[in-house]
Structure 1
Amino acid sequence: MRRKKTIVTLTTALAPAERALNVLGTDLTEKGLRRYLNGIAGVDAVGLEQRAAALGTRSIKTTSKRWALDTIISLIDLTTLEGADTRGKVRSLAAKAITPDASDPDCGPVAAICVYGDMVPDAVAALGAHHGAPDRGKIAVAAVATAFPSGRASLPVKLSDTSDAVAAGADEIDMVIDRGAFLAGNYGRVFDEIVAVKETCRREDGTSAHLKVILETGELNTYDNVRRASWLAILAGGDFIKTSTGKVSPAATLPVTLLMLEVVRDWYKLTGQKIGVKPAGGIRSSKDAIKYLVTVAETAGEEWLQPHLFRFGASSLLNDVLMQRQKMTTGHYSGPDYVTID
């Protein structure tokens, strides 16, 4: 990545266009975006994968493992994104988010529950007094939007999708970028859509739902594209960059997440502003999740191991973590019958 000698100090109050102008130092045009993004250094794929593999070999044991398991739970976006979702399923998901392990009152809660936009009112109602900001011990409601998971819709439809979810009480919006436009090199269109969705996240009281920008890295084909898309999403105002919808394979991988963490680290060095990262899809075991914790700590820093800066998008991960916690308490595996079904 091209380095600047001075730090560009940004505040979260800056509009996306101002944020981009401060960093690009040029006119905010398609040509300017293309010049900047194409000027980013290429990714050393071999080096990236070797470092990810090395980080994945680190082991965490005893009390540190218990801390790691509890941390994973606090970072989970417990997710249900199926066409067959019902109000009852969302209520059950909320109950599990509040009390992941009914046998252990010291366990939980998770960071958020993630649902389709039309399920937001049910999620908010089911959480009740537990609904709120994760960094204050509450549980957020995240809604996927912008014609998730394909993103194949007109901008007015995407903005209406977002507006409805925010009005219904969503604390966070997980949007998808137009991968076709990005792969065609139409960075300005992708930038403008993210900016428009970011503005739609603003509520009448002046507050704003947090915006997670899903890159769908499995469709971006190269590490270079993942790095460019990460920078583009942050420039356009994303509060988080997220790997995947969970509907495309491959979804989250450790090398891709490492690369995205390097981007937010470099952004922080450049601007003093912290951006979150959310790997989603395919992370099913506590063993794998611990590898991500190590990667976060070793790349962006331990301060990123907080719900407002790192999340796991998962549905089945929580059960494995709960079984591992029970094993540490009882000395034996209790099995899946001792945790609730998602």
Structure 2
Amino acid sequence: MAAGKKLKLSVGIWCMGGMSDRFLPQGYEEPLNIQERVERVKKVPEVEAIEFFDDEFEKISPRDFKSLLDDNGLKVSCINLNTHSRPKWQLGALTHRDEKLRREAIDAAKKLVDLTGFLECDSVGLWLGVDGFDYPFEVDYGIEWDLLMESVGEIADYGSQVKISLEYKLKEPRQYLFVGNAFRSLYLIKALNRKNIGVTVDFGHALMAKENPGEVVSILSREKVLYNVHFNDAYREWDDDLIAGSTNLYETLEFLYYIEKSGYQGYLGFDIFPYRIHPVRALELCTRNTLDLYRLLQEVDKDALLKGQKKMDAADTHEVVRKVFFK
């Protein structure tokens, strides 16, 4: 992404209505259908695309879904495989020891690969929320990782022209997820040695994994495996999915700095759970915060920043950056 280039913004359609948690599983508002959620997205004109899970196709056909998006001038940034809300995969999907259930998960991913051309999207997302464990001795780690690599490798080979993007997360819904941080993701990619497997970096997931999001972007970009970005904010201990730019301003600005420096060409996709804020207002705030922070980034004296970094002087670099916040 060249300096000052217009950001491409997307949003997970799941963010736009029907938020629920374990204390109020029926949700904080009446359920909305896909058309109503798309209409909410359209109220924030800076957002160009949506991201979604394949369970949407249980309620609407791919053809009608595409027509709905076309009518509203929206693109698809990524199609995600939903294994986390289907009871049959509660013990695992791509790593399930029951070959029939594992095969069903692999085939579900392949169906998404088949849809990418029709939906004019080049990316399939794998957030493997059920592939992990909860207790010591529960699983054989070696066998589970063999199954994971075999499954992801097969999906990647089937969709060799499609980006297969691994979204890592430390925990939830399992206590430990196999693809739990950026460097486990990178290990899996290098072990499989496929050209079309990459990573979805979620800002909050990186914080929860005790990573520095900017450093993660820098390293994954060096390896040419930064495929997708989920943007939000968090208090670091959990996947809070707060409004982007609402909590960790310096880390968020640095994140955008490395997004720009890396030349990333994809979308910044908002992944938030605005339980007690109207989703449209939350999306508007995400958009405004992101665009305003990106504008501030253009005001950072990059030459002075590089000089401070060369000296490894934290005070100098802080002085450079703080000027855009405290004018």
- The TM-score normalised by the length of structure 1 is 0.45
Structure having greater relative contact order (Cα 8 Å, sep ≥ 6): 1
Higher relative strand content: 2
